Structure 1
């Protein structure tokens, strides 16, 4: 068995394993379509390898050679379909399928050219190169944010396209690709070509698998951080995202403020009108916070009826406007399930991050200001203007709660 034959067998086995891997990922991928298209691509890779391996058994190899070309090009098209689904780009099915048909016809007719003709070899390899660059264009055209793996994938797609484009010249330098199709696997070129194909097929598969698994894990993490009732971040998710936001704001020298809100007399709503009505109150307040917040703000439900917002890029005055606006809107909002003349209110505590503070200090001061708002009769906003002031606010609030002020 020649070295090319051995590598071709390896390619067949590897393609099968990769197809199974993508199918396994598809069962855990909410979209599923990207992984399934990738699996289809590597199933076609198995078929291609099997056809290539069988070519020496044919007296007239024209049909299996053309079929192998069409199957492999179809595999690259299926791979591009998976990329398009993954990156939210409309798959260019019509031009790709037209290209498949046109190039397959061209490959059929170039069989009449001399075996070592550069035109004949190019007719095989340049369509593969073109599909790799189409894949690169799909990733490039995506509006999704691209991480390190996505950028590496783009680089590998470009390199893969270049290696396909260079193969006609490699074949010429190595003395051709066999006297006939049956002799192809005995040529030095076949060993080089199949080896390059294995390297790039594995690289592209591992990168796309890594990207799909990354996205699946991100989705699982996101779901674990979301409060199902309000649709906002739960306490754990809020803390993680808020700490990152505060860290970035501190590093960039951007102001950041925190608002903590508590629904007034929420227990009486549940007791008087039932927990379903209480849930609608939670949903209504969460909706107001979501509408008022910008995309870069962090909004969460951190307790039963307690909410928090990190306002990056906002100072104390802007945070107070945010809180007052939400308070007035909530107080005027009719809630389904409550009497028509019934209105709910909320209390707010606000603090702005100071240079010497971290996230926990900011949250503590906002919480202290909230205590003062609750003690001042509720349905109001109270502000902590600084670290020392925040402690004073808390002590005054505690004294009133204890009946001493």
Structure 2
């Protein structure tokens, strides 16, 4: 009676967890792992329901195979969800091999005496092998955070708990002469208790991981400016702090670019805010197409953008800005209604090692002012070791080194 009650509790737990993961998956369509874990709960509940009905079943060969197969599929779904979460792919080959080997192995040992230790190890070992496929994915893909380390530990305990059951079965006198006797044995009581504990721990850990991912997605969405696709001002400064810390630790160069769309107010006044929004969106898309992994792009004002380029010196940053400038002036945001050119001005500077972001930003802002004073639609740079008149002289020289290109036709395609 005790083991039957525990089995019923395990089935009820499975239903509750199943509903939770379904809710996670429907709330955020990016949470495909949660839908696989929902599928795992469905298969696990089906296995438990069949096992619960075993005492009333006269011929049990098919029922026993169904119990084993459903639970094996349950574990396979857990592992597939973990591979999707941590390795971004479905382990078609490994999971298929392990599942087929497990089912074939079960069929081969199904007629051995139920008290056989070999039979018990192959039976439980198959479950353990399927679960370890998922543990491997977490080990390979986790970021070493406390949450991932905890999930890895819980999943490892979950996988290894199956290997503990055969010796426990022997110590407690077996699992019944026939399948119908299983729920009346002491071993069933212990086994179902173990499963209840590890199932709760595993579901809790997977639920925390899913909730953390959903909250992270919500945070990322709030950090992105919807119009331009760039980071918002606050998010940009947070990412800049992380990037500068990494660059200073690695002692690599970094550069800063300030971008300002020219005569943006006149665009809104002449063509309307819808076209103005399209200009912002086009420039944001252009920045995204030029952005390298690790670059930090933010919209820091209405028509102002800032780009931090790690592992980049002044010369490379200036070339980056010049390519942005020349490409942007070819874009047509008016739908062919005008020959108006949308252009942008750029201020570039290289940051000194350990330099505060505010100091570099101020220097880039001065370079941007120089670009606007020079007629707009151009790139100017400021070096850490020059200021004042020397900076103006240096910019005058650089104006000849990187000429402005104003001959591009409106309506050209976005290109690098």
Q: Is the 8 A contact 2:271 2:334 kept in 1?
A: no
Match of 2:341 in 1: 343
Output one character per residue of 1:115-134: Cα deviation in whole Å (capped at 9) or x when no partner: 31223323421221221123
**In structure 2, distance between residues paired with 1:177 and 1:105:** 22
Q: Is the 8 A contact 1:246 1:358 kept in 2?
A: no
Report matched runs for 1:4-403 at 5 Å: 4-58=3-57, 61-86=60-85, 87-92=87-92, 96=96, 99=99, 103-104=102-103, 107=106, 110-139=109-138, 149-150=147-148, 152-333=150-331, 335=333, 337=335, 341-355=339-353, 357-386=355-384, 389=387
Output one character per residue of 1:231-251: Cα deviation in whole Å (capped at 9) or x when no partner: 222223222212221222223
**In structure 1, distance between residues paired with 2:369 and 2:44:** 65
Output one character per residue of 1:243-277: Cα deviation in whole Å (capped at 9) or x when no partner: 22122222332222211111111222222233333
Q: Is the 8 A contact 1:347 1:373 kept in 2?
A: yes
- Relative to the length of structure 1, the TM-score reads 0.82
**In structure 1, distance between residues paired with 2:55 and 2:271:** 81
Specify whether residues 255 and 106 from structure 1 end up closer, same or farther in structure 2 by C-alpha distance, changes over 3 A only: closer
Q: CA RMSD in A?
A: 3.4
Match of 1:400 in 2: none
Q: CA deviation at 1:57?
A: 4.1
Which 10-residue stretch deviates more, 194-203 or 103-112?
103-112
Q: Is the 8 A contact 2:7 2:52 kept in 1?
A: yes
- Relative to the length of structure 2, the TM-score reads 0.80
Q: Is the 8 A contact 2:253 2:312 kept in 1?
A: yes
Specify whether residues 32 and 348 from structure 1 end up closer, same or farther in structure 2 by C-alpha distance, changes over 3 A only: closer
Structure 2 residue matching 1:229: 3-state secondary structure:
coil
Q: Is the 8 A contact 2:332 2:341 kept in 1?
A: yes
Q: Which runs of 5+ in 1 are unaligned?
A: 395-405
Q: Is the 8 A contact 1:259 1:323 kept in 2?
A: yes
**In structure 1, distance between residues paired with 2:153 and 2:354:** 43
Output one character per residue of 1:153-202: Cα deviation in whole Å (capped at 9) or x when no partner: 44544443333234323322443223433433343432332233223322
**In structure 1, distance between residues paired with 2:83 and 2:236:** 32
Specify whether residues 123 and 339 from structure 1 end up closer, same or farther in structure 2 by C-alpha distance, changes over 3 A only: same
**In structure 1, distance between residues paired with 2:112 and 2:280:** 75
Q: CA deviation at 1:207?
A: 2.4
Q: CA deviation at 1:308?
A: 0.7
Specify whether residues 122 and 327 from structure 1 end up closer, same or farther in structure 2 by C-alpha distance, changes over 3 A only: same
**In structure 2, distance between residues paired with 1:329 and 1:60:** 75
Structure 2 residue matching 1:27: 3-state secondary structure:
helix
Q: Is the 8 A contact 2:254 2:312 kept in 1?
A: yes
Q: Which runs of 5+ in 2 are unaligned?
A: 393-416
**In structure 1, distance between residues paired with 2:311 and 2:103:** 57
Specify whether residues 5 and 302 from structure 1 end up closer, same or farther in structure 2 by C-alpha distance, changes over 3 A only: same
**In structure 2, distance between residues paired with 1:126 and 1:37:** 22
Q: Is the 8 A contact 1:299 1:310 kept in 2?
A: yes
**In structure 1, distance between residues paired with 2:307 and 2:243:** 11
Q: Is the 8 A contact 1:22 1:36 kept in 2?
A: yes
**In structure 1, distance between residues paired with 2:78 and 2:389:** 60
Q: Is the 8 A contact 1:230 1:283 kept in 2?
A: yes
Q: CA deviation at 1:279?
A: 3.1
